[in-house]
Structures are given as C-alpha cells and as structure tokens.
Amino acid sequence: MRLTPLVTLGSLLFAGPTLATEQGAASLSGPNAAVITPLVDHHAHIYGPVFAQNGISPILPAVEVPPHVATLLHALGTTIGDQKALAQLYAEDSLMVKSDMRNWVQGREINAAIWTLQFRVPYTLVPIAYQGGDSTAYVVAYLARGEGPKRVHQHTVLLALKKEKDNQWRVAAEMLTLGPIRRQEAVTAKHFVEELDAAGIQKATILSVAFVLAGAVEEMAGEAAKVRAENDWVAKQAALYPGRLTAFCSLNPLKNYALKEVASCGADPLIKGLKFHFADSGVNLRDPQHLAKVRKVFEAANRHKLAITAHIMTRESDYDGRATATAFLNHLLPAVPDVPVQIAHMTGDSFFGTQPQAGFAVFADAIAARDPRTRRLYFDASVGQDQPAENLQLVAAAMRRVGFDRILFASDRAAPNNSPPGVAWNKIWREKLPLSESEFRDIADNVVVFRD
C-alpha cells in the first residue's frame, strides 16, 4: 500500500501528487483487512430542482387507444415469461431492436425470446402517443410498475402495429429503450449518501451539473442565474454532510459570465473546486480563442484555490486526443500550479479508445519525465462495464505507467445513470479490471486534499 504524506507546496522541485490518507484508512487493516473499499468516490453528481426542471423532460400523460391496441399492450405486459404466448403477439416477419443491441433482429420467435429474457415480472404498458388506421398503427408507451404516485416508469417502447389476415393486430416492429425514466425531481445528497453508506465508502466529491444548463452556443435567457442557482444548491446539499461530501461548482468556461461565476464559487467556503465538461460546453482547445478563454478561467480558479476536474474529450468527429492533451499540459496546467487537477475518465469517457489512449500518453510521458507541471495531476478511471477484456488490459497498463497514487476511484454516478458507487467498485472495477489486490488497495486509499 503506497501512502504519500503531505508536502509543503514548493518544498520540492518535483514530487508525486499530494495525497492524504485519513483515519478511515485504518479500516484497511485488522480483522477486515481482506475487504478493500475506497475511502472516497472522487467523481459523482447530484442535481437540484433547477436542473431537473430544465434538463429533464416531464413524464407524459397517458392517452386513450382503441380497444384492440389496449388489449395488445396488456398482453405484452402480462405474458412476460411465456415465450410461446408472446410469439403470437408478433408478426411472423416482425423486427426488433433495443438500446443495448447493435442491430435489428427479425422473426416472432427471436423477438419473443428477447422480451422473455429481458423482463422477469409483468409491466403495465402506458400509451403516451398513438396514431392508426384500418390496418396499420403506431403507439409509444412507457413500461411501468405501480399505480398512482408510486408508479415508476422503467423503460420506453415504440411499436409499429399491423392487422393481419386473421384480423388480429400484431407487432410489426419494435424499438425498446432500456433504463429508468428520470422525473423532474432533484437527486439529493441524502439519496447519494445512502448509496455511499451501502457501499461502505466514507466520502465523495459531488460535482454540479450546472454546465449542462450552459451547453448552448449562445447564452440563453436567464442562463447565468440558473447556473448560479444549481451550483449554490449543490453547495448547500454538501453542507448537510460536513466531512463527507465535497462540493464542486461547474460552468461553461466559454461563456461571458464564466469569470463571475468562478468568483462566486471561490467566495463560497463550501465550494472546493470546479468541474468542466469540454464536450457539453463545446470547448475545442485547438481553437486559440477557446484556449485563451479557458486559461483565464483556470487562472481565476487558481487564485481562489479551487481544484479542477476536467472532462477533456469531446464528441467531434475530428477530435484529436494528443493535441488536446498537449494543449492542456502546455497552456492550462501552468495556470493552476497550486491546486489539484483531476482528468476525468483517463482523458476519455466510459471507453478507453484510441483517442483517449493518445491523450493519456501525453500526460504519462510528462510524468515519466518528471515534468513539474504534473506534480498535482490525477486521473479518475475509465472503467465502463461494456469494455472488452483486451481494452481493460490497456486501462490497467496505463494506470501502472503513471502510478496508482494518481488513480482515483470514481463511480460517475448521476442517478439514475451509471451504477451506484458500491456496484461500480465491486461489480465493475473489482471484477473486470485486471489489477492485483495491492493495486486495488493503493487506489482505494487515495484521498485528494482540497482548500480549507
């Protein structure tokens, strides 16, 4: 287990990243020494009413459908588990695709098999849109459980229907999207702390999602006020759990009000850092104007001793991981010499692909060269549950190259997206990453220290 003691800023020309391990580290020894649990989830999100009402579509009301459609929807929901009965609800040449499949499949038997394997208990199919004629129709529906205010909308489905020669209406095509439907309700610190408790994790850094409210190229009416309100809400939520939750603001560094928002966050002792999401904010570090604006924001963050967490990968088709990481190393890291800087997802997203590998290599080379700009540089890891084993070998090798004192556990939890921290650690990190027990323990011990 590698524990790096605190060092005074400037006391060394170059040192590894400054980490502190607190009393909770003692839980890694003694009777439960075999149980390895992270002290901190370093990258998670909660969100408040402003985000929920602006970034999440409302649950749509149910609509009336003809009796034959209502009967078919009821049958689809209640014959789950009976593959033979389900098959009779599909046309012989019916097509299906769902959100975790890479292509359409055809045929009533395979479609019924997929439905049977996917769902184990009955659902109510709640129609929210319908249009039909004498022989064809379509219907959009939620797959829900429960009634009234306790109803939970779990998935969505788009069905194309047709009336066949035997006068029976059947499913001709189906698009099924899996995953719980967000409601316009806040995800509170209480909710997230319950997940931390279930995982046995002591602390977490909760990152505001206010940057999502600022994703449009042009500034929207009331945008700055909404960003401020969301950041303030996260700070106050973290204050409900002092010593457990650390709050970060977030913002779009390209906006005209960005420096004002940094000052507001810096003046709030409850805020310890800033989260940037270059993809959602439209930041391109190869654009000199963008780079100049982002650098000014980073300089302001350093003046206020606000730590940085940055998602630097974008979704542009010509995204260049090496060029982006080089610009970050040469122009942005020098602007924040006095604060920790955490690169999200090892410079990528949930998949450690070619461009993230190229970007990570830039930082790894600088670390190997003992570049002083990397003294307080960390990475939260890219351990998406759908990565193939050979890709996770690359993730593990990249971690080893920079050293495990720079790798931070992160669930990237944003309920209901991504797994809760306990599931992320035990079912994804521990089961999928090809690391040794001592390497997992090194990661679990890491705690980044923020301003007082």
HEC profile of 259-324: HHHHHHHHHCCCEEEEEEEHHHHCCCCCCHHHHHHHHHHHHHHHHCCCEEEEECCCCCCCCCHHHH
Q: Is residue 366 scored above 70 in pLDDT?
A: yes
Rg of the chain in Å (alpha carbons): 25
Cβ(3)–Cβ(28) under 8 Å?
Answer: no
Cα-Cα-Cα-Cα dihedral sign, residues 284, 289, 291, 295: negative
The two three-digit tokens of residue 386, written as one number: 């759908």
SS3 187: strand
Beta bridge partners of 145: 152
Q: What distance in Å separates the CA atoms of residue 314 and residue 284, rounded to the nearest whole number? A: 8
Average of per-residue pLDDT across 44-54: 92
The two three-digit tokens of residue 72, written as one number: 């078919």
Query: Read out DSSP for 91-113?
Result: EEEEEEEETT-SS-EESHHHHHH
At 333, the pLDDT band (50, 70, 90 cuts) reads very high
Taking residue 224's Cβ as centre, other Cβ atoms within 10 Å add up to: 19
The two three-digit tokens of residue 19, written as one number: 């980490």
pTM of the predicted model as reported, rounded to 2 decimal places:
0.80
At 4, the pLDDT band (50, 70, 90 cuts) reads very low
Q: What distance in Å separates the CA atoms of residue 228 and residue 431, rounded to the nearest whole number? A: 40
Cβ(344)–Cβ(312) under 8 Å?
Answer: yes
- pLDDT: which is higher, 5 or 32: 32
SS3 155: strand
pLDDT at 3: 36
Give 121's DSSP letter.
S
At 34, the pLDDT band (50, 70, 90 cuts) reads low
The two three-digit tokens of residue 110, written as one number: 């395979």
The two three-digit tokens of residue 254, written as one number: 């390209």
Kindly state the percentage of the chain with pLDDT values over 90.
80
pLDDT at 12: 29
pLDDT at 239: 97
Residue type, 226: K
Nearest 5°: CA angle at 195, between 190 and 200?
Answer: 120
How do residues 79-95 score in pLDDT, each as one tens digit? 988 999 999 999 999 99
Average of per-residue pLDDT across 287-296: 98
At 150, the pLDDT band (50, 70, 90 cuts) reads confident
- CA 315 centroid distance within chain: 15
Query: Read out DSSP for 407-447?
Result: EE----BBTTBS--HHHIIIIIIHHHS---HHHHHHHHH--
Average of per-residue pLDDT across 433-445: 96
- Listed by start position, the domains of the chain span 23-54+184-445, 67-177
Cβ(326)–Cβ(364) under 8 Å?
Answer: no
Cα-Cα-Cα-Cα dihedral sign, residues 184, 154, 277, 378: positive
pLDDT at 1: 35
Beta bridge partners of 366: none
Average of per-residue pLDDT across 323-332: 98
Q: Is residue 348 scored above 80 in pLDDT?
A: yes
pLDDT at 224: 97
Residue type, 121: V
At 440, the pLDDT band (50, 70, 90 cuts) reads very high
The CATH architecture assigned to 23-54+184-445 reads: Alpha-Beta Barrel (3.20)
Q: Is residue 388 scored above 90 in pLDDT?
A: no
- pLDDT: which is higher, 355 or 181: 355
pLDDT at 180: 81
67-177 topology per CATH: Nuclear Transport Factor 2; Chain: A, (3.10.450)
Give 331's DSSP letter.
I
Lowest mean pLDDT among 5-9, 103-107, 261-265, 324-328: 5-9
The dihedrals phi and psi of 277, each to the nearest 5 degrees, come to -130, 95
Of the chain, the end-to-end C-alpha distance in Å amounts to 27
Identify which of 11-25, 80-94, 172-186, 412-426 has the greatest average pLDDT. 80-94
- pLDDT: which is higher, 389 or 138: 138
SS3 content of the chain, % helix, strand, coil (to 5): 40, 20, 40
- Give the pairing type, strands 136-145 and 152-163: antiparallel
Instruction: Give the DSSP H or E segment for 397.
Output: helix 389-402
- Same fold: 23-54+184-445 with 67-177: no
The two three-digit tokens of residue 59, written as one number: 């649950």
pLDDT at 27: 38
The two three-digit tokens of residue 12, written as one number: 């060394």
Residue type, 420: P
Cβ(159)–Cβ(139) under 8 Å?
Answer: yes
Cβ(366)–Cβ(331) under 8 Å?
Answer: no
Q: What's the whole-number average pLDDT of the chain?
A: 90
At 22, the pLDDT band (50, 70, 90 cuts) reads very low
Cβ(328)–Cβ(284) under 8 Å?
Answer: no
Residue type, 97: V
